[in-house]
Amino acid sequence: MDSAQRYNEEKKYSGSSGPRATIRLSGGGRYAGSCGQVMMNAELQAQVTFDVASIRADFPILARTIYRQRPLVYFDNASTTQHPQTVLAAMERMYRERYANVHRGIHYLSEQASAAYEAARETVRALIGAERAHEIIFTSGTTASINLVARSWGDANVGPGDEILLTIAEHHSNIVPWQQLAARRGALVRFCELSFDPEADLESFRRQLSSKTRIAAFSAVSNVLGYRFPVKEMVAAARQAGARTLIDAAQHVPHEPTNVRDWGCDFLAFSGHKMLGPTGIGVLYGKESLLDAMPPFLGGGSMIQSVTRDGFVPGELPAKFEAGTPPIVEAIGLAAAADYLSEIGFERISEHERILVQRMHARLGEVAAVHILGPACAHKGGIVGFGVTGTSHFDLAVHLDLQGYAVRLGHHCAMPLHQFLGRHDSLRASFYLYNTLAEVDGFVEALQAALQHLRG
């Protein structure tokens, strides 16, 4: 269905999502969702610790309307996030005033660009608590970061009969590179199934580890269910078994405090576009000793120290893994996003999302046909995946879109997880610092109206 068809359909669709500007208080009772008893709306509202309206003013796109003047409600943050004016301004200024290639010139602009690029690296180092700036490798995203480790560290360290341990909840980007590595090297990929209880899943993970496990790669937070893995404990268990660890932190770094030294992980990957930054920029963190020992993955450009007819000598870290012209302006945008989030505070962002998730669980509990997937909200970040019995998920997503609600439909690049859950697809609402309790209430009302409309 294209935009014109959706506009025509919207004119026929009479379901109303109610007012978006105010919070509708309950009649004194307590909502009961999959989290058991949760606080009343007024109590949750009282816990909001920062001025969401002020934050929303920083995001021009959130002020727009779609279709027949429906306010846009953006609940697709696990896929990609919107951009505050500070990020847009930092990138524009770089293009307007300081743009040149980095590390390749002695002229003024090149020196300015190089300094800004390396300052961005230092910002990222501080963001995730790495010890050294050259442990931060800029890539094009989480997918590229994981592929770099699988190709470079993996090809050098994984052999026939070795095992690679994943969880069933992984994004395809943290499955396929390891399957490719296993096919190249004659290794075996194993999956740890989940109960979505951190203590039980930690024990399951420990049982899957063996002397054959070369690396354990897992998400910090599931992109489908919002499930928070017990990362520090899983890393410790893998280390005790003699295995390396890679953390897919794409859904963690944007939302909660992250410290790679506290976790003790060997590698960590995340993306800029999931934390208010631009696309085309991601980060691979690796321990210096491991990165030093790894062969370069891509060849050419900035990654060399010298080249002769007989071969080449790679450059020092981090240049060794940043072949070609790097994502210069994107790195500056990522640093601006990190500064914006850090100023607000990741603890406050995480708490705000917890409040939104509590409200969503409670309100969805009012809708008999809805089944919330995954753990109770005490064990999840700002993502709520759910299914609806007896109604097409596609039709629901279209009707929600017509009412202004941007949610995700599909397998979310996690087919094995959906197979494990016995589902073909799911709907997903994912929150960030600019979402509100009123938007959650309006969403559930729009969902109820859509179900009524579709069922005649």
Read off the CATH number of the domain in which 415 is found.
3.90.1150.10
Please give the C-alpha separations between residue 395 and each of 120, 196, 225, 241, in angstroms, as whole numbers: 43, 29, 21, 48
Domain region containing 415: 3-63+345-454
pLDDT at 304: 87
Q: Is residue 35 annotated as part of the catalytic site, yes or no?
A: no
| List of the chain residues with pLDDT < 50 | 3-4, 6-34, 36-40, 46
Are 163 and 260 found together in one domain? Answer: yes
> 327, 252, 30, 285: which is closest to 135 by C-alpha?
285
Residue listed under structure tokens 């996690």:
414
pLDDT at 9: 43
Evaluate whether residue 205 is within a structural domain: yes
Are 111 and 244 found together in one domain? Answer: yes
Are 185 and 276 found together in one domain? Answer: yes
Are 9 and 151 found together in one domain? Answer: no
Are 227 and 286 found together in one domain? Answer: yes
Peptide linkage before 416 cis (omega within 30 of 0): no
Evaluate whether residue 444 is within a structural domain: yes
Catalytic residue, from 35, 265, 377, 413: name it: 413
pLDDT at 1: 52
Final residue before a domain boundary, out of 325, 343, 361: 343
pLDDT at 302: 83
Whole-number Å distance between alpha carbons of 181 and 192 = 18
Evaluate whether residue 76 is within a structural domain: no
Are 133 and 276 found together in one domain? Answer: yes
Are 295 and 414 found together in one domain? Answer: no
Whole-number Å distance between alpha carbons of 329 and 272 = 12
pLDDT at 49: 59
Evaluate whether residue 167 is within a structural domain: yes
The structural domain count of the chain equals 2
Structure tokens at 317: 């870290």
**Residues 448, 454, 455, 456, CA torsion sign:** positive
pTM: 0.90
* Gyration radius of the chain over CA positions: 23
Whole-number Å distance between alpha carbons of 97 and 366 = 54
Final residue before a domain boundary, out of 300, 327, 343: 343
Evaluate whether residue 316 is within a structural domain: yes
Structure tokens at 336: 């601006």
Are 309 and 368 found together in one domain? Answer: no
pLDDT at 437: 96
3-state secondary structure of 218: strand
Are 338 and 372 found together in one domain? Answer: no
Q: At 147, which CATH number?
A: 3.40.640.10
